[in-house]
Amino acid sequence: MEYLLFIHGFIAIPILLGIAANSIYIRKQLGRLEYRVFTRLQSAGMVVFILMLILRIGMAIYGLTSYYKSYDTILLVFVIRDIAPSAINLLVIYLLYKNGEIREKGIYANFSILEWQSIKYFAVKTEEIIEITTNKKSVFNKKGKKVKWEVDNKEKINTIKGLLSRYIQKNGDNDDIIA
């Protein structure tokens, strides 16, 4: 049983330390948070993974209470086996939460750090979709990376548009902003 605890703890601890390190690194590279963009898919994903995490924690609590009633070690094994998947759920929730941040020195989107100098332009495609094109090349197709945010109302689009145009004009030589 100690072997199981060691393996699952060994998986969970680096995941949790990685979450903390990533948060510090993003803050150091891009500065303070200005606005967080939540897309519909991102919100749905967070709900699903939060429900999965609640289910895992509930199963662990049930296993612990059952273990203390009967002292059957198999129940403790089930609790230990929930440690690593719970840490992975926390990682996915964190990544979904952090994705789509507009910060003072750039944006954090699609799990990439994009500084203002690397953004070529942005375009409002519809009343709910904004697309940002960057100078960074994609690994697979050698075109500029694109970030596409689909938000749920026009007020958010106007806020995002205002922030992007302010920062892109202030930090770069980009005259080709499409708004």
pLDDT for 94: 94
- Residue whose C-alpha is closest to residue 111's, from 153, 157, 63, 145: 145
pLDDT for 97: 93
- Residue whose C-alpha is closest to residue 27's, from 110, 118, 103: 103
Helix and strand tally (H, E) in the chain?
5, 7
Tens of pLDDT along the chain (179 residues) come to 667 777 777 888 889 899 999 999 999 999 999 999 888 889 999 999 999 999 998 988 888 888 788 877 777 777 787 888 888 999 999 999 999 899 999 999 888 888 888 888 888 888 888 888 888 777 777 777 888 888 877 788 888 888 888 888 766 554 444 44
Q: Which long-range contacts (CB under 8 A, 24 or more apart) does 8-16 make?
A: 8/80, 8/81, 8/83, 8/84, 9/83, 11/83, 11/84, 11/87, 12/83, 12/84, 12/86, 12/87, 15/84, 15/87, 15/88, 15/90, 15/91, 16/87, 16/90
> Which domains, ranges and CATH numbers included, belong to the chain?
2-101 (no CATH), 105-171 (2.30.29)
